[in-house]
Structure 1
Amino acid sequence: MAVIVAAVAALVLVAGGGVWFLTKGDGKDDEAKSETGKSQGGTGEQGGGGGGGKAPQTIDGKLLFSVDQPKVDDLVTVKGMWATDKVFAKADVYKIVGYGLSGGQKWEIPLDGEICWSSQHVTADGKTAVLVKDAKPSAEKKYGGSCTQVVALDLNNGKKLWQESAKVADQDVRFEEVTVGGGTVAAGGTSGGAAWSLDGGKSLWKPKAGEDCKDDGYGGGGDKLVAVRRCGDYKRPQMKVQTLNPKTGAITSEYKVPEGISYVHVVSTNPLVIGLDAGGSTGSGASDLMAIDDSAKDGKMRSKISTGNGKFQIKCPSTDVEGCTKVAVGKDAVYMPSEEHQSGNTQNPGRLNEIVAFDLATGQSKGKTEGIPNSELLPLSVDKDGYVIGYQSPTYRDGGAVVRIDPKTFKKDVLLKNPASSAVAERSLSPSYQQALYAQGRLYLGDGFADKPSKYRTDKEYLTLIFGGS
């Protein structure tokens, strides 16, 4: 399934740059030990009805591995984290680094420049894609090159599969984002969209000069690919959401978004859920979610769910198609965190929130799961059995936790409980504004940016933290 979740939206020696930072850990690739609660982090998985199963045993976690923030002279984007059954990979400064599932560097893939965008989807055999600038910063180009290079990666084997760009009238097309779905890599932006076969990098389509409609971007994941197409005047467009044949680009279903909407986000492709801002989003980028039936040529709205003028805390980028965080989508429901409020508990006062489920068939709320005082409860993903995987942030006394929510009873069980001793470090990479994955019984937290140290900050800064059982 293609759900954009988790965190912001959200990471040794560097070749050629002289920049380095230390890692720690025993370097062992402690492979998965048939632990409970598997979930492919940054992209949720389509879960069935699920629920009602036996409660899992809580794992007492510890900080298994950490990577310090790299030393840089200016802000550098390092967004991108993936976990397969063989490797954890993190975007870094001008490279992708692969680690064992419990830490320890295995490989690195150098890149031509800064990462512009990383697909949050990874295939079953460990393949994904990133969008990269065509050059690093130099005296002539302070901020490096342009976002024109699409790179396909084999994470399991630590290899670059291919690197391609698209040209229109002999000019390289600039892209804003990239995704993977149905065996296709697709990149989009204000200049239009292009696509390549994941295996081999064969060009499938690219923008055409003078065309009235352009692909802002694509939603991917699994076997589906969905385009958000902008037609007519850029400021007052007709936006269309098109489900495509990933191999050819042929439109199999099209939904015309109501007039007055300038930006559309793909929250999930299977089931198809989009986000849009019709006003009243309070800066979240999405005032409403819509579940779309794309089973026929003419797509139809199944339901509409309001984010309640900030009452529900989904966060979508202002202009990008993918990248929504603080939301997870299952087969029958979408899950969002409520705004924080007073707990009303006199013995344990403080602020808390809930994860609220909304039925995709009706748009109505169908249940909620309450967090704990002085902590934020966020949805990360939906596992293959339909359980919601959530993250409970550290309190003043305890470390954070990964929880599993039953989609039928909304009962919450703790999968992984992190120690208080590392709560300060854990809090610095909160999924509320950074990146998070839960996979193979481990919690991966990562920063989306590397920056020069602040003289006002005294705590140690991390690029990556890995938590799990011993």
Structure 2
Amino acid sequence: MTQPPPPPPHQPPQGGGFGPPADQPQQPQPAQAPQPPAQAPHTPQPPPGYGYPQAGPPPQPPQQPAGYGYPAQPPNPYAQQQPGAHPQPNNPYGAAPQNPYGAAPQNPYGAQQPPPGYGYPQATVPMQAQAGGGSGGKKINAQVAIIVSAVVAIALIVGGGVWYASSDDGAKDDTATSGDKNGGDKDKNGGDGAQGDEGAAPKGSERVPADTAAGVLFQIPAPPVKDEQIHSVAGSWLTDSVYAKSGVNQVTGYDPDTGGTKWTLPLTGQTCGYARQITGDGTTVVLSEAAKRNAKGEHEPCTQITAFNVDSGKKLWSKSVTVSDAEVAFAEATISGGTVAVGGGYSGGAAFDVTTGKVLWQPKVSNCTDVGYAGGARLVAVHKCGDYGNEKYEVQLIDPKTGSVKWGYKVPDGLENIKVISTQPVVFGVDSADITASGASDVFSLDDSGKLLYKIPLEDGEYNHRCEIARTDGCGGIVVGNGKLYVPTKEHDGGADSRMTNEIVAFSLETGKSTGDRIDAGDRYTVFPLRMDGGDLVAYKEGPYDKGDQIVSVNGGSLKQTTLLETPGTRDVRDAISRMVPRSAEALYTDGRLFLGKNLVSKPYTKGEEVYTALGFGAK
């Protein structure tokens, strides 16, 4: 029996504040907001996610201790590799550069080197409740402390949101965090941006609202949660007419301006993965567990694949994959060229026609498997061959309709946990040594024939991007566009008042060197990239304790910043946003509207505390 749809979300009171639903007593508010602290503390961020945990398949053997990554003095990591499962072109890596790793990148901070000691925060989070939210002087709220250990299980990519996929064979790229009026003709990329000339980037489509001061459109209350339980609500999608958000055992479509419920789609169990893309006709895909969780909240295997229309909520098809009389569990889904590909399981990947659900390929008993896929403009597979301890990986560009390999790049031996950051151009990251806080300490850029352009080292602790372990497309806060890799630096002392700040810097995909681009967050703000909008970069700026957060557009050539939206700076709104943890939230922005969604919900830390699964803000 499916659960009834939740009641319509509470509409905010006059003035755009937050509070409990009208039929519940209002919580007492303090007479005035506390004075700002003399010195703003560093805002802790959640550690990188490790993919959605599965209960069904047996766990893999533990990772090898030593030897993971590059040896201290590699003989030549790009030398000829052993043949893989697919034939390779002659000399697939091209002529070896004089230094295959390239010169060390230039100081991304310019002349002034930031002081040490502000690397990626540890998993420990203060448990006391704080009034502020965000960064540059705001402490993380205690609600985050409860779920931070669970957030690492499913971290959805900042800027993850909605990517529009063309119905053509990967001809039209989109990895957008928001809906596209043109059904994917415009590039609103979070990783597959238009490369272009660095000085002549194509103009973006986002326009500045007449008033960038945003009001609260709605807040979606979290479902009741029992003690010690954590529910998955992973999945957000946005079109012109619907904001869809996963709840417990269902997906609900809301009016993006009012929060009124438009439709409810029941699922077999809680969500455990989803495609961030939406096709031109409004179709996307969600993964769900095989059954509802028991009274103890124990996970079920993630085996169900459901395609639905975001505007109407109509289910198009629902499938599972059976191998050796057992249903295969997956962890991620992506769409490209009319194909939905699912991966992240132990048995390999599978693909379906996104409209009909027809099986295009599925796991086979073999020594070689597709670990996972990344979609959007093109479909890229991470392919693995060999027994445990002797695995060899290959990043492959594949035909979405047939699964045939167009070309493959053999990843140097000793590297795994490969994360595809962009599919056009193909850019992927790896951990080159022990597991890092960022999840990607080295980034490889490939040309259109699959040959290596350059390897870009991102020293652990110096940058603030996040790539999930065991997720092929699970990177957030790192974006490709204009022939560059945009990545935020770690937070550092911003000046005389000791407020924290950071910047976004860029590296050339062709040379691996710093381009000299520096996008400053500004006094008391911190910034991270969300996606590309043509040649412009859309970024999220977390404000200090007395101001709202901002969405800005950064011109790809001049680096001029234009504010598109600013959230209210009131205490209750700041607190609600801080509980979302914007850097790990499902953040969707387009046309003057910002939506922040959670991946997981748990019991409130404080009795009577309001917990939300999504917040909507709108500028006019």
Name the TM-score, length of structure 2 as normaliser: 0.67
Match of 1:443 among 578, 587, 594: 594
Match of 1:117 among 273, 280, 295: 273
Rounded to whole Å, the distance in 1 between the matches of 2:243 and 2:480 is 23
Say whether residues 1:325 and 2:476 are aligned partners. yes
Is the 1:271–1:331 Cα contact (8 Å) retained in structure 2? no
Shift of 1:200: 0.2
Counterpart in the other structure of 2:10: 24
Rounded to whole Å, the distance in 2 between the matches of 1:458 and 1:81 is 26
Gap change, CA 1:329 and 1:460, over 3 Å in 2: same
- 1:342 counterpart letter in structure 2: D
Shift of 1:262: 2.0
Deviations 1:59-95 (A, max 9, x none): 1111111111111222111111111222111111111
Deviations 1:241-272 (A, max 9, x none): 11110000000110100100121111111111
Counterpart in the other structure of 2:80: none
Match of 1:227 among 377, 381, 384: 381
- 2:363 counterpart letter in structure 1: P
How many residues matched? 435
Match of 2:544 among 395, 398, 402: 395
Gap change, CA 1:63 and 1:358, over 3 Å in 2: same
Shift of 1:316: 0.7
**Relative to total residues, which structure has the larger strand share, 1 or 2?**
1
Q: Give the structure with higher Rg (CA).
A: 2
Q: Secondary structure at the match of 1:96?
A: strand
Counterpart in the other structure of 1:31: none
Counterpart in the other structure of 1:257: 411
Q: Secondary structure at the match of 2:460?
A: helix
Deviations 1:413-437 (A, max 9, x none): 1111222122222222132122211
Match of 1:454 among 588, 593, 605: 605
Gaps of 5+ in 2: 13-173, 179-188
Counterpart in the other structure of 1:76: 231
Deviations 1:371-427 (A, max 9, x none): 0233321111101x2110001113111010100111112221111122212222222
Is the 1:307–1:313 Cα contact (8 Å) retained in structure 2? no
Shift of 1:280: 6.0
Rounded to whole Å, the distance in 1 between the matches of 2:532 and 2:6 is 36
Gaps of 5+ in 1: 1-14, 27-37
Shift of 1:51: 6.2
- 2:250 counterpart letter in structure 1: K
Q: How does 1:151-300 map to 2 (within 5 A)?
A: 151-188=306-343, 189-209=345-365, 211-222=366-377, 224-279=378-433, 282-293=436-447, 295-296=448-449, 299-300=450-451
Gap change, CA 1:327 and 1:257, over 3 Å in 2: same
Say whether residues 1:108 and 2:264 are aligned partners. yes
Gap change, CA 1:312 and 1:458, over 3 Å in 2: farther
Q: Secondary structure at the match of 1:41?
A: coil
Is the 1:379–1:390 Cα contact (8 Å) retained in structure 2? yes
Deviations 1:39-76 (A, max 9, x none): 93176262455268999466111111111111122211
Match of 2:508 among 339, 359, 369: 359
Q: Secondary structure at the match of 2:574?
A: helix
CA RMSD of aligned residues (A): 2.4
Shift of 1:281: 5.8
Gap change, CA 1:235 and 1:106, over 3 Å in 2: farther
Match of 1:149 among 281, 304, 326: 304
Gap change, CA 1:429 and 1:469, over 3 Å in 2: same
Counterpart in the other structure of 2:177: 41
Q: Which runs of 4+ in 1 moved over 6 A?
A: 51-55
Counterpart in the other structure of 1:8: none
Counterpart in the other structure of 1:85: 240
Match of 1:380 among 501, 505, 530: 530
Shift of 1:311: 0.9
Gap change, CA 1:79 and 1:173, over 3 Å in 2: same
Is the 1:40–1:84 Cα contact (8 Å) retained in structure 2? no
Counterpart in the other structure of 1:370: 520
User: Identity, % of aligned pairs?
Assistant: 37
